[in-house]
Each structure stands twice: as C-alpha cells, then as structure tokens.
Amino acid sequence: MCLRFLKSKQFSRKGAKAQRKTQTISIISLRLCAFAGNLFLLTCALSCTDHKPTTTVAATVPQFKRPAGVLRVCADPNNLPFSNDRGEGFENKIAELLARDLNERVEYTWWAQRRGFFRNTLKSGACDLVVGVPSGFEMALTTKPYYRSTYVFLYRKDRGLNINSLDDPILKTARIGVQIIGDDFSNAPPAHALSRRNIVQNVRGYTLYGDYSQHDPPARIVDAVAKGDIDLAIVWGPLAGYFAKQSPVPLEVVPVSPQIDQPFLPFVFDISMGVRRGDQELRDQVEQVMEKRHGEIDRILEDYRVPRVDTEKGGSGV
C-alpha cells in the first residue's frame, strides 16, 4: 500500500460570509497512500480510476462463497514495506496473524496495485481481504482503523536540517522530492500543498509505480534522499519509515505539519482492512481478531517503523 492522494473539493458559499457546506475528499496512495503506493496511495488512486458512481450499491454487489479454511488475501507481490511474494511485508505478517486466529491458511491473489487492482481481485471474487485500505474506502467494506499514519519529511541527518512544517522558509530553496501517481503525473497532497505556496521550480517528481522490474519500486524517492540527489522528500510515512531504517545513511523522519493543510487537504489518514461490500460476516470476524490481537499488530507496525499518530488509541505513536 504505498503503497496509495489527489483531492477533489466541493464548496458552496452563502451570502458574503463563506460557509463551507460540503467538503468531499477523493483520495488518489494511498498505496496510499496511501497512500500508499505504498498501498495507501495506490488504493486511493484506484478509488478514482476504478470506481463508477452509482446510487444502488448494495443491490448490485455480487456475492461469492468463500472456500472453507482459507483466508484469501489480495496483495501486491512487489510492494514493501506492505507486501511481497516472499511474505516480508507488514501486511503479510498481519494476514498470517489473522489466519491463525481464524483457523485458516493464507492464500494470496497477487496483482500489482495499479489501475484495475480492486476490479480484478476483490470485486471479481478472486480473493476476500485487502489488509490495508483507507478507512471508509468506497470500493470495499472496511473495518475499524487499526492505525493512523501521516506524510513525513525525510532528509539526511548530516544535512543539519530541522524541518517539520510546510511553511518552513527553507522549502522555497531546498531540492524537494514528491511522489506522483501514474503516467498522467497526478499529484499527491505534498505537491498540492507546495504548489499552493508557489514552491514549484525546486520540486522533483518520483513516480509511485516506478520500475516494476526492480525490487520495491516506490523506494526510489528514499534512495534519492540518501544519495543526495535531493535535499528532502515528503513521503507517505510507512514507506519512509521502513526504508529509512534500511538506509546506510542515517535519515530523519519527521511528521508533516499541519496535519490538515487549509482549506482541507489532509496529510494524516486512518488505515483499515477491507472486504468485499456485503461481506459483513468476514468483516466482523476480522474485527474481532483485530481487537483481540491489537497488541501484536502494534508490535508488527513498530518493527516496520510505521509512523503513528494514533497514540490516543493505544498505538505506539511517532
């Protein structure tokens, strides 16, 4: 989920005084991140590319019978820190944890988290669970969130930078990397926030999809920071935290402030698990395990250095 954010806004104004009546955020990783592109960026991107608005959701959702004894998980085979086909991602670990408590074995449907991911996996009945989706994601029935993460500033510790705000004056001159989604160069929240501040000429885009023939394609933006190609990057937290830990050069990971850039551009997102719409039974079963095993899930996220901003919910936090 890197894996997984474009925003669309709708405002109506009444009289001389601006009154926001509707605010609709459509997130493009989601993947991603999500981001998330990480998964969060990517699943968010897919919500805009795969979904066709309808007024009759529940009545038209096909139902599929799940095979007994199998937890069928939809995942990307090359998308660390979220998942890969060697079972090395934190979503792989969480899936195994869920399956043990459900007395099932994990079986994967592998599909690159790009356009068509949900259509060809969850919606087609090929698999039944996506371990990381934005809470309330409209293409799935989502569980309660199990973590909340944030975009972060990522820079080398030896640079002497001390950046934690989008309004820091140094951003006007520093070389900044941001992630873009797809071949149409759609922009995630960092690019929108920087553009609103007229910070454009010193910004470099790194595609979230990357070169899929390489391992962990979304990690190239982290590599660029470590090599000094750019001074800093603004990246979805789980991606930055994991690869900063792997970096031979010490990197600083700092949550972006503000968490919501005005007028309404969030940099913090709740992440849930998602099942097929209408599969209330599986959703309830998964939530029961999540509640029972929340301590183990927190430890997995901590091991992968996922930045957390949900300490009030009992998470380990940033």
pLDDT digits (tens, 9 = 90+) for 71-96: 999 999 999 999 999 999 999 999 99
Residue 312 lies in a domain: no
In the chain, which stretches have pLDDT less than 70?
1-62, 182-186, 311-318
CA distances (Å), origin 181, targets 32, 40, 41, 53, 101? 10, 12, 8, 22, 36
CATH code, 178: 3.40.190.10
Residue 142 lies in a domain: no
Residue with tokens 């086909």: 85
In angstroms, the CA 246 to CA 223 distance is 10
CA distances (Å), origin 76, targets 36, 92, 185, 295? 12, 10, 21, 25
CA distances (Å), origin 46, targets 6, 26, 67, 177, 217? 11, 11, 27, 23, 18
Residue 86 lies in a domain: no
Residue 100 lies in a domain: no
In angstroms, the CA 167 to CA 203 distance is 15
Residue 223 lies in a domain: yes
- Select from 248, 247, 246, 251 the least CA-distant residue to 231: 251
Backbone φ and ψ of 223, nearest 5°: -60, -40
DSSP one-letter code for 209: S
For the chain, the straight-line distance linking the first and the last C-alpha, in angstroms and rounded, comes to: 19
How many structural domains does the chain have? 1
Residue 177 lies in a domain: yes
Residue 194 lies in a domain: yes
Residue 126 lies in a domain: no
Residue 150 has which token pair? 């944030």
Domain interval for residue 186: 151-266
One-letter amino acid identity for 3?
L
pLDDT digits (tens, 9 = 90+) for 253-278: 999 999 999 888 999 999 999 999 99
Looking at residue 182, what is its pLDDT? 57
Residue 68 has which token pair? 């007994």
Average pLDDT over the chain, rounded to an integer: 82
